[in-house]
Amino acid sequence: MHSLLKLLPVALFLIPGPAHAVDRKHPTHRTTHGLPVQLRSGESTEPYHPPTSFETYGAGVSHPLSGRAAFNLQNAAVAYATSKLTASNGNAVVYTSGYSGDVVQNAYLVQTHDGVPFSNAVANVAFNKNNSVISFGSSFVTPNFITASVPTVTFAAASAAAAAQLNGTYNNSPVSVEYYVTPNGSAALVYTFEIQNIALGTWYRAFIDAHSAQFVSALSYVAHATYTAIPVSQQDPTGGFANIVDPEDYTASPLGWQNSGSGSNSTGNNAISWKGTSAGTTTQSSAPDVFAYEQNPALAPSAPQNVDAARVNAFYVANTLHDIFYQYGFTETTFNFQNSNQGRGGSQSDALSISVQDASGINDISFATPPDGTPAILRSFVWNYTTPNRDGALDNDLLIHEITHGLTNRLTGGGTARCLKTVEALALGEGWSDAMANWAAKNSSATPDFVIGKYVTNSTAGLRTYPYSTSLTTNPLLYSSLQTLTEPHGTGELWANALYQVYAGLVAAHGWSPTARTNPDGKEGNIVWMHLFVDALGLQPCSPTFLNGRDAVIQADVNRYAGANACTIWRAFASRGLGVNAANYVDDFTVPSGC
């Protein structure tokens, strides 16, 4: 548990294109490298994150400032991280963000050198309400070589290099000078900023050498998927549309859903849905704020009434999830999506933007998550598996899956949206998103098999390899399946199913609440599951692995429920090979003694 006392140097070197010498089948590769980004030169580059260590401490341990009468989250986090780490400049640990929830206080830190922060050498410390340390994650490093800390080329040269390679333009996002740890263990001084191509739907964070203007790395903010709207507890339009009256939660949305000064259309403080341009919204069908547009399935998605139905449904689902997530802890101070934060803290001006029937693709849906303070973009496409075609914005599975990417990318790593970019972390992201769609669709304590994407594919098999199931016969995926699974959606199926095992165990133990979407205060299993889902995201380290994700859920239970559900959770994870001794994609089905 004290592996961070001696930091491991990074041991790989990134060479773009065919000469890339990394063994992609090696277990560590998918935990330190992201999906390749294709460059216009024909080569590719992979975002890199140094190996992450993660420790959990149950009821908590002391920190160097424990003896002080008053607790200060920033000071305590810096002191604890400094005491644990042996980086090249151990005192240069800087607090970047943090927040206090109802049971946990989370702090996020970055390693620096000569006052310059590292892009990918970060740490996070969590404290309980007794101000004891309950978890610590770190990817801090000891570079074997570090370049000078003052740029010698201009930003103009760097942005031109990035735009040329990434087929986009600089989008006027904030520019920073940072160190980027490369796979060979050296640290390069870089300009980091965003490159976007709106027509192609691409959105990257680029890292360009500040001494040579050479391309160092890039990561994509866009998460692609293939998933499904209409009451949020319903998967798709086959169950019909409903007239939903006053669904706003005014604790989560004090301005309401429509009140953003733009009139009564599909624009609000939390989200905007549109087609073609951001001005292409849906206006109320009657005053005040009545949006009565129902899909005609006999007509093409492009029929005017169907366009309106798609925009209204996407707007409803996005706002509903905003309010649900808010109730469980995804608020202004924890990096959510809102134009105005009403003085509650956090960065604002980042309501979710939803493009329905987007012209840049087909048979897909995507979500781009930038850092807190920059709007995310959900692009929903038309699906051509049927005649007439079907609209992804009318498939709740897909919308919930995609919007959950915003939750997981913002909460992991303190609002940077950079921490779910390695292959294994991307797979976790896909798994969390499928698991949330499954949770939202539940209308009783039953735990039947769940299939995602049946509507858009017009198939009972949906979009995944197997249904999500508590039966190993129906869904045989185990931790060892990761030895052969490499694509994030396929790999993520194991994580989504493991979380479904946890859900089933908690509901069996504590029952099911029909008000879980609006009231997070109950003790029923579906409420407990949702709290653990959200709490664990803030605890886990940047670039988490499946085992880190498991440990964060178990620690979240200690924090909120004093570990009352530990055995239930362990049994669920162990049923999928994620037992106590699981490692390197080798199954283990054991649980702690006493379970």
Catalytic residues, by residue number, are 402
405 is in an annotated binding site: yes
Is the CB of residue 566 less than 8 Å from the CB of residue 592?
yes
How far apart are alpha carbons 266 and 512 in whole angstroms?
33
State the CB neighbour count (10 A cutoff) for residue 345.
Answer: 12
- 366 has which bridge partners? 224, 379
- Considering only CA atoms, which of 155, 135, 204, 139 is closest in space to residue 7? 139
The residue among 302, 303, 452, 318 whose CA lies nearest residue 382 is 302
User: Is residue 401 a known part of a binding site?
Assistant: yes
CA distance 267 to 84: 47
The Cα 385–Cα 463 span in angstroms is: 12
Amino acid at 372: D
Helical (H) or strand (E) element with 559: helix 546-561
Sequence-ordered list of residues with C-beta below 8 angstroms from that of 453, at least 6 positions apart, any chain: 226, 227, 228, 395, 397, 398, 462, 463, 464
> For residue 448, what are the contacts with CB-CB under 8 A and spacing of at least 6?
none
Task: Give the burial string for 133-172 (b: 16+ CB within 10 Å, else e).
Answer: bbbbbbbbbbbeebbeeebebebeebbebbbebbebebee
Alpha-carbon Rg of the chain, whole angstroms?
23
Judged on CB neighbours under 10 Å (0-12, 13-18, 19+), 587 is middle
Query: Any known ligand binding at 224?
Result: yes
- What is the rounded distance in angstroms from the CA atom of residue 157 to the CA atom of residue 430? 36
* Amino acid at residue number 300: A
Q: Is 389 exposed, middle or buried (0-12, 13-18, 19+ CB in 10 A)?
A: middle
Comparing C-alpha atoms, which of 323, 334, 338, 336 is closest to residue 518?
Answer: 323
Strands in 160-226 per DSSP E: 169-170, 176-181, 186-197, 202-209, 215-220, 222-225
Alpha helix segments (H runs only) across 268-303: none
Point out the annotated binding site for Zn(2+): 224, 401, 405, 430
